[in-house]
Amino acid sequence: MVGPLQVLPIIRRTSRSDFFINAASLLPRSVAAAIFVSRFSTALSHAGQDFMALATLSNEQNIRDRLKRLGCGENSFVVFNGVVGRTRFFEAMSGKPGTQFKQEDAERLLKVIDDMEEIQSELQNRLGYESNLIAIDWTRTERIATALTTRRVAKYAVELGDHSLDGFAERATEFVKS
C-alpha cells in the first residue's frame, strides 16, 4: 500500500493531467469513472459546447435522422424550413430538457422534410435511379425554398382543379438538381 508521503513526490514531478491519472489509480474504479465523467462534461460545457443526446423516438431525433438520410445539413435546413428560426431550431436540436419543439412546429418541420423526400424521389424516378439516392445540393437554399414553395402552390392548385402550375412545379424540381 502506498502512503500519502510516497504519493507526494510523484505529484510534484508530474503535470496536472498526470496527477489525475495517478490519483485515480489509487481509487476504486467506480469513483475514478465518476470523477472522469464529471471532469469531461465540465470541460465540454466550459468550451461553450453543451452536448446532450436526443431521445431516440423524439421529433427532434426523427428530424435529425431524416435530414441525415437526405444528406441535408441542419444549417441548410434551418434557412429554408419556413417554420422556426435559427435560434429556436438549434435550441430544440440541442437536446436540453424543456427546449423541444411544440408538436405543431415538429409536424410542420416533418412535412417540409416529406416534401424534400418527395422532390428527391421524383428526381430519382425521372432519372431512372432505383436504389441510389441522387445528389441534391441542399446548400442551395434559395433554389430549394423556391422549389418547395412552387410545388406546394401547385399541389393546392391541383386540389382546386387547376393544373396550370404543373409545368412550374416540374421546372422547380429540375432546378434543384446538382
| Per-residue confidence (pLDDT) for residue 112, from 0 to 100 | 95
Instruction: Output the DSSP codes for 80-120.
Output: H--SS-HHHHHHHHTT-TT-PPPHHHHHHHHHHHHHHHHHH
Q: Is the pTM of this model over 0.75?
A: no
Cell 442551395 maps to which residue? 140
pLDDT digits (tens, 9 = 90+) for 44-83: 443 444 545 555 678 999 999 999 999 999 999 999 998 9
Per the prediction, the chain carries an average pLDDT of 75
Rounded percentage of the chain residues whose pLDDT exceeds 70: 65
Instruction: Give residue 54's pLDDT.
Output: 59
Note the pLDDT tens digit of each residue in 23-43.
545 555 554 444 444 444 434
The SS3 of residue 120 is: helix
Residues contacting 132, CB < 8 A, separation 6+: none
Amino acid present at 11: I
Is 160 a residue whose pLDDT tops 80?
A: yes
- Between 135 and 93, the higher pLDDT residue: 93
